[in-house]
Amino acid sequence: MLVSIDHSSSVSLAEQIAASVRRGLVDGSVRKGDRLPPARSLARTLDINMHTVLRGYQILKNEHLIDMRPGRGAVVTADAPASTLVTEACRHFVALAQRAGMSRTDILDLLHTQLHAATQGPPGLD
């Protein structure tokens, strides 16, 4: 898995690390059961602080993508790469909607509308 960071980006380093792992899940370079590099060593590699790496891992933990335990490290618990793609699409949708000033209710309404529209459509199983 390739973890690269950009100090000049507006995205926080922790979020960039989390994004790298998500990308790895999508392209298959990271799979369920894999162990992420120890925070200390990855921090040394990227020349950033250990806490920053752990903060990135924590984001993934909150998303239930990995499990963390002292002594054992960070282990990927994600189900399927497809669900990660879906999650990414969901994240993108939420970010865009909130940027447009939509409330939580607005977002749910829009989703319901699309769900109804989609169920009337053809089965997209190809």
Asked whether 14 and 56 are in contact (CB, 8 A), the reply is: yes
Nearby residues of 78 by Cβ (< 8 Å), 6 or more positions away = 25, 32, 65, 66, 84
Asked whether position 125 contacts a second copy by CB under 8 A, the answer is yes
Given a contact cutoff of 8 angstroms between Cβ atoms, the answer to whether 26 and 84 are in contact is yes
Is 1 a binding residue for a second copy by CB under 8 A? The answer is: no
Round to whole Å and give the CA distance between 89 and 83. 10
Q: How far is the CB of 89 from DNA (least distance, A)?
A: 22
Nearest distance from C-beta of residue 95 to DNA, angstroms: 14
Is residue 115 a contact point for a second copy (CB under 8 A)?
Answer: yes
The DSSP secondary-structure symbol of 37 reads P
Q: Does 31 bind a second copy (CB under 8 A)?
A: no
Q: Which residues contact residue 125 at a Cβ distance below 8 angstroms, ignoring those fewer than 6 apart?
A: none
Smallest gap, in angstroms, from Cβ of residue 84 to a second copy? 10
Residues making contact with a second copy (CB under 8 A): 11, 15-16, 18-23, 26, 62-63, 80, 82-83, 85-87, 89-102, 104, 107-108, 110-111, 113-115, 117-118, 120, 124-125
